[in-house]
Amino acid sequence: MTTTRVSTGVPKLDAMLGGGLLPGTLAVVYGATGIGKTHLGLTFANHGQTADGARGLIFDMNGRGDSQQHAEYAERLFHWRLGEWTHTVPPMSDPHPPAEQLAAFYTNTFKWVGRVRDFQVPTPDGGVEFDWNWKATYNHALYTVRPFFYFHFAKGVRRVVVDGVEPMDAPADSIQFHLFDDLYRKTIHRDAETLGMEICMPVWKHRAFIDAHRYDHTQITTLLLVTTEETRLEDLLARKVATGDVGATANTIVVLGSEREGSRLARKLCVVKHRGSAMSEDIVEYRVGPRGLELG
């Protein structure tokens, strides 16, 4: 039986992935700042318009606004005006977003970077727990984040790009990895009915909407873009997946790095892992062109 694939929007990369990503899986792209990860992520998200009938969502975790130039790149590469989602749904409020927010495919609501312990406080028994003030701020941010995903998924979006994950020596210590894990398990891959009932309260009032907008959460494919300190491809290929690194559980890993070739520095791409599918072990040169990543 042939498995339907999720195209990245880069034909030669799809060929290296045996036809594309497997639907409903998590793929991680590792590479240094400026190597082309955001271009690849936007290409993947934009291709949803052709492949799925809806572009993908861009969830920026760096907390510095559009510092990675998502809006500029989207406009220049794809004539895509990447509006920002700001709609918030506190408990028992009217959940439905205005029409213009359903055309907004970007948010940067998670503004926290650093180590998990930076957000924890000691307990009387000698342990640690998350600071209650921070938890309250985080839970308030979820009133914006969870509707961002739910209402777009209900409208047909099936792709998610998470960008802005910064380097960390020990991924298990990173607040960003902690937050992504929570987001992935409790929102992106939460079943539609449960997530809808948690957002649209009181449930009896919105039952018809929830029932009419069910979707298969197992078909939502996520691309996580992780910035590394390593810049050379060889160092990235030798990089071990540490405890707490989502690459350990990801279905697919792609690395983007550089190599010296004579008097120039070439950008190279390699598929390191693609579980459950055939894949190419080739190392391929690429460049960032007018249409995003172009593989040679």
pLDDT tens readout for residues 43-62: 999 999 999 999 999 999 98
pLDDT band at 158 (very low <50, low <70, confident <90, very high): very high
pLDDT band at 68 (very low <50, low <70, confident <90, very high): confident
pLDDT in tens, 248-276: 899 999 999 999 988 889 999 999 999 99
pTM: 0.95
Residue 12, domain member (yes or no): no
What percentage of residues in the chain have a pLDDT greater than 70?
97
Residue 10, domain member (yes or no): no
Structural domain count of the chain:
1
Q: List % helix, strand, coil for the chain (3-state, nearest 5).
A: 35, 25, 40
Mean pLDDT across the stretch 151-169?
95
pLDDT in tens, 84-113: 999 999 999 999 999 999 999 999 999 899
Q: Report pLDDT for 44.
A: 97
- In the DSSP assignment, the letter for residue 52 is T
Residue 285, domain member (yes or no): no
Contact 24, 222 (CB under 8 A): no
pLDDT at 294 > cutoff 70 = yes
Please give the residue that has the higher pLDDT: either 264 or 147. Answer: 147
Residue 281, domain member (yes or no): no
Residue 18, domain member (yes or no): no
Q: How many DSSP H helices and E strands does the chain contain?
A: 8, 11
Q: Report pLDDT for 193.
A: 97
**Coil, strand or helix at 104:** coil
Residue 1, domain member (yes or no): no
Average pLDDT, the chain: 93
- Domain range for residue 252? 26-260
Residue 138, domain member (yes or no): yes
Residues in the chain: 296
Q: Which residue has the tokens 């213009």?
A: 100
Residue 9, domain member (yes or no): no
**Coil, strand or helix at 94:** coil
Q: Report pLDDT for 79.
A: 95
CATH code (residue 135): 3.40.50
pLDDT in tens, 173-186: 999 999 999 999 99
Q: Report pLDDT for 1.
A: 43
pLDDT band at 245 (very low <50, low <70, confident <90, very high): confident
CA–CA distance, 57 with 79 (Å, rounded to integer)? 16
Contact 42, 133 (CB under 8 A): no
pLDDT at 241 > cutoff 80 = no
Low-confidence winner among 30-44, 56-70, 100-114, 207-221 (lowest mean pLDDT): 56-70
pLDDT band at 64 (very low <50, low <70, confident <90, very high): low
pLDDT at 34 > cutoff 70 = yes
Mean pLDDT across the stretch 225-244?
88
Instruction: With CA atoms as reference, report the closest residue to 257 among 245, 270, 239.
Output: 270
